[in-house]
Amino acid sequence: MSTSFTPAEVALLADTPARTVEKAIEQKVFPVRFGHLLPGDKRRRRLMNAPAVGCAAIFGRLDLELSVARKRALAKRLASLPAEAWRTARVELTPAVELHVGRLAGEVMQRAERYRVARDAHIVVDPDILGGTPVIKGTRSSVYAVRARLDGGEALDDVHADYPDVSLAALEAAALYARAHPLVGRP
């Protein structure tokens, strides 16, 4: 399964404006590759590794202006951290300035991993189901239907009551996936 995120997913998970992530891509702070996010998905997407989520969160939370070179160096250093180190790591930004990575991005990285696991386990793109619209595995419920209900004011528990065989994690992943990958075309 995929261990990658699209730029839109990175922005949503890091709670950072999409333009911040796009600018970092443009400045070559985050490496990007092209591929398929989910099996069955015919769209080749720009994909980023998980550390980009943490880096984007850190960049968004810092009260410092960083040069592009410093952002690249920091992103490279953070990308080399093992996943378990994100909760406790401290990274020297400059002499006398140290970042507490866990405080800035530890929770974000845990949320990103929970989303990735749920997305990869529960979101399916199959051309034989709703014409390839992403759905929750084992159902014909599109991720967009889940998002619409939540955006319409329904509580997650109410949606879950209608789909008792679908986990809350799957419903949350469906809603985030729909936000990150909106339908294209006329409403």
Give the pLDDT score at 122.
95
What tokens appear for 95 in the block? 């002499």
Average pLDDT value over all residues in the chain: 91
Q: How confident is the model at residue 1 (pLDDT cuts 50, 70, 90)?
A: very low
pTM of the model: 0.90
Judge whether residue 59 has pLDDT over 60: yes
Condensed to tens digits (0 to 9), the pLDDT of residues 23-46 reads 999 999 999 999 988 888 888 999
